[in-house]
Each structure stands twice: as structure tokens, then as C-alpha cells.
Amino acid sequence: MSVTQTRAVFEKAMKSFGFPNGEKIAVAVSGGADSTALCLLAREFVRQNGGEILALIVDHGLRPCSARQARLTAERLKQKGIPSRLLFWAGEKPVSGVEQAAREARYRLLSDACRAEGCRTLLLGHHRQDQAETFLIRRAKNSGPVGLAGMSAVRMTDFGRILRPLLGVCPADLREYNRACFMDWVEDETNLSDDFDRGRLRRILTPEQIDEAFAQTLIYGKKRRALEENAAVFIRENVVKSDRGYLLFGQDAFRKLDRETGLFCLGDFLRFIADRPYAPRSDSLAALADKICSAFFRGATLGGCRIAPSTKKQVLVWRELNDLPDPVTVEGKQRFSWDRFSFLLENPLPFPITIKPLEHHLRAQEAFPRRAFCVLPALFDNEGLFIVPHLGYKRTKITCQVMFTPQAALCETARWTCPVT
């Protein structure tokens, strides 16, 4: 693919997504060849179509040279007239599961930065080979049609949307684009490391295998799209989601769903309530679906959620108490977050407050599902329960607003989007 063709594919993808005039677009940039080319392509796009871009550079702190490379990337982008912001993954790093933990930290940092900067669109640099690798990794783990569709070109989030306009572009073409723009990039040696699944794959995959795997994602993508369309209808007609962090769905209506749509919906419910990037495994979802459809269903736990019968032949899905994050203590802050909630105090408090689940510090209210009551977020001072924003309870005149802001979004419209090639 020529440089002109690469730019044309990118512009075709971007225009298919649709952009309001003057939108500010964030671009995730690692400093590698792929994300660097993405940033250069985005710069040309906003020059021609209006708007502005901001490069977000994440330093995971996993390599001794990562801080230096992040600064170098920012300087290179500055020379091309592209503003940037450095983001840091602070704190201790896990001994095992580093790849997954780093991915989750990266998305969290990028999402927070988009909200802070007022960017409703985030561009990611995943390309054709990344999509093929995703398919092969998931197939080895016996994923169903949802997982085998790979990465969607569009993903809705709480701040807006994540777009992958390069899924149909080969990495070699992105490197060539950088060279044509006289732009250097950083080489990450871990990309070919045998310590990671993708690194091992990249060392052995042939171009023919990549093409075949990519073609398979398009086939499964059509199946996933159909599943999402069916699920969206069910969710719009039979699901009640609460800004208090739980949802209800009709048990009888769920029993009438075809098997694949039912499993997709169930996985989407659990992923949304637990605020996780992925649903539980299909075999676990199948076992849970069988229980829900049974006349003797009494309750279950899966994927960080509790699931149990509620009133009016509904099923309640709420956060599992033992899966909640550790309590967080803040002082002098007006805005802060915990679990899936964002808080805004009328004024910052001059003393420490701790955010943790309410548990049994108040009696359950009649209008509230009793089982979900104990996982409501509550604020405590050194004297005990201080504020429960959802219930209007407080031992102060200060007002505290709370918003339900999970990063995961419920499938209320079909969202899987085919890569533009």
C-alpha cells in the first residue's frame, strides 16, 4: 500500500465514524511505529476537516528507559506541531499478569485523561496484524463468536468512544508512512518477547496466516453484529439499569431468547455491572443461564456480580461485595472516584474521609432492592458514617453529588463495527 493509499484508508475510516465540527481528538501514542503513524495521520485529518488533536503518551514504568522514551516521543511530536500529555502508571507493579494489568492501567489513564481534557474521541493504533493475533489468541482459548470477531473499530465508553481506524492497514505500511513524513519512532523489544503471547506469535506468523486470520475476524464480526442487534432489542425492552449500580431484567423474557443471544446478554450484564473489559467465559455463562431458566433458581455469583431473583419475575444483577475495590481515603479534594462512581463535594473537606461500601450501617429502604443495598458507596469520617449520596443521608450541610460512571457500556445499540480496508 502506498503512502497515499494509507492516508486514503485512514480518511475513509474516520469519515465513516462521523465527527462534529471542531472536535478535539485524543490519540494514544506509545512512541512505536504504529501509534506514531496514527498521530501523523490524525494531524493531517484535523488540518483538512477542522478540530484539534492531543497525543496521550503513557509511561508504564516497566522498563528502565521508558521515561526517557516517553519524553523523546513528546519532543518528536512537538517538532511536528502536535501537543501531547504524559501519563504515568504509578505505584507498585504486579509480579504476575503484568501484560493484563498494564493494559487495564493504560485504558484507565487514557479514559481519565480524555474526560479531563474534554476529548470525546480516543484513537488507538491497532492494525491488521494486531487483529489477526487477537483472533488466533482467542481461538486458542476456545472463545465463542463474540471473541473471535476481534476488536471492533468503534467502542462506546463513558467519556465518548474509542476508535480503531487502522484495523485494515498492515504495520509495514505504517512504518513506510512514518519514513515518508521523516518521523522516527521507538522500538520496543518486548514486542517480540517470548514472555508474552503476542510476542511469541509475531516470531512465527507468516503473511498468509495473518491474512487468513484477519479474514476470519470479518466472518465472525458479521455474526457478532447480528447478536448485538438482537441483544440491543432485548435490553431496550426488558432491562432496567439503575444509576445506583445495579440492573434488573425480565426472567420470562430471558427464557424466550435463543441460546446465543441469551449468553451474549448475560455476559454483557455482568461485564457492565462489574465494570470489566470482558465477559466471563462462555461455559460459565451457559451454566448461569441454565440456572436462571430453571424454576428453582435461587441465586448465583459470577464475574464479580451477584445474580438473584427479584420482585415481579425480574432478575437482579448487582456488584459482589467481596469483589469491590479497597476503601479509598481522600482529604482536601472536591472530586474523587471509587468503584464505578464519581463524587463531587460542594466544598473540599479539611479532614480525611474514606469511601467504602455501606454494608449494614443503615437499614435497607423499601424502594431499594434489599440485596444491592449493602454495596452502595458511602463516605465515612473518624466518627463513622458521614454521607450516603444515593440515599440523601448526611451528617453535614455539605452536598455531595454522585454519578454512576462505569467504563463499560451496556449494549443498547449494535456496536461492533467492521474494520475499513
- Cβ contacts of residue 410 below 8 Å, gap of 6+? 235, 239, 241, 247, 268, 269, 272
Alpha-carbon 419 to chain mean position: 18
Residue 87 has pLDDT above 80, yes or no: yes
- Give tens-digit pLDDT for 143-181: 888 889 999 898 888 788 999 999 999 999 999 999 999
Q: Is residue 139 part of a domain?
A: no
Higher pLDDT, 233 or 157: 233
Residue 216 counted as domain residue: no
| Average pLDDT of the segment spanning 360-384 | 86
- Tell me the pLDDT band of 333, cut-offs 50, 70 and 90: very high
Do 398 and 292 share a structural domain? Answer: no
User: Does a structural domain hold residue 143?
Assistant: no
Q: Note whether 400 and 295 are same-domain residues.
A: no
> Is residue 36 assigned to a domain?
yes
Residue 259 has pLDDT above 60, yes or no: yes
* Per-residue model confidence (pLDDT) at position 327: 96
Using 50, 70 and 90 to split pLDDT, how confident is the model at 193? Answer: low
My answer on whether 175 and 77 are in the same domain is: yes
Closest to 87 in 3D by CA, of 64, 62, 55, 65 = 55
310 with 355, same domain: the answer is no
User: Per-residue pLDDT tens for 179-188?
Assistant: 999 999 998 6
Query: So what's the pLDDT on residue 99?
Result: 76
Residue 400 lies in a domain: yes
In a domain, 292, yes or no: yes
At 190 the pLDDT is: 60
Q: What is the mean pLDDT of residues 216-222?
A: 93
Report CA dihedral (390, 393, 399, 403) to the nearest 10 degrees: -10
Provide the mean pLDDT of the chain: 90
How many structural domains compose the chain?
Answer: 3
Question: Given 182, 205, 228, which residue is the final one in a domain?
Answer: 205
From 91, 87, 79, 102, select the one nearest 26 (Cα to Cα): 87
Residue type for 417, please? T
| Domain containing residue 110 | 3-125+165-205
pLDDT band, residue 61 (cuts 50/70/90)? confident
Give mean pLDDT, residues 227-245: 94
Q: How far is CA 47 from CA 4, 42, 50, 75, 170, in A?
A: 16, 9, 6, 20, 24
| 288, 303, 321 - which closes a domain | 321
**Mean pLDDT value of segment 325-333:** 94
316 with 357, same domain? Answer: no
Q: Is 313 inside a domain boundary?
A: yes
Q: Are residues 191 and 293 in the same domain?
A: no
Same domain, 265 and 200: no
pLDDT at 388: 94
- The reported pLDDT for the residue numbered 34 is 96
Q: Is 253 in the same domain as 388? A: no
| Same domain assignment for residues 266 and 305 | yes
| pTM, entire model | 0.77
- Residue written as grid cell 467519556: 159
Mean pLDDT, residues 23-29? 94
**Banded pLDDT at 385 (limits 50, 70, 90):** very high
For residues 200 and 255, membership in a common domain is answered with no
| CATH number of the domain that residue 175 is part of | 3.40.50.620
294 and 347 inside one domain: no
Find the mean pLDDT for residues 277-304.
Answer: 93
Confidence grade of residue 367 (pLDDT, cut at 50, 70, 90): low
Final residue of a structural domain among 155, 185, 205: 205
Highest mean pLDDT among 142-146, 336-340, 404-408: 336-340
Average the pLDDT over 197-220 and give the result: 87
pLDDT given at position 315: 97
226 within a domain of the structure (yes/no): no
- Shared domain check, 361 and 291: no
Q: Is the dihedral of CA 354, 359, 363, 369 positive or negative?
A: positive
Q: Range with the lowest mean pLDDT among 87-91, 110-114, 120-124, 242-246? A: 87-91
Q: What is the mean pLDDT of residues 281-308?
A: 95
Residue 62 has pLDDT above 90, yes or no: no
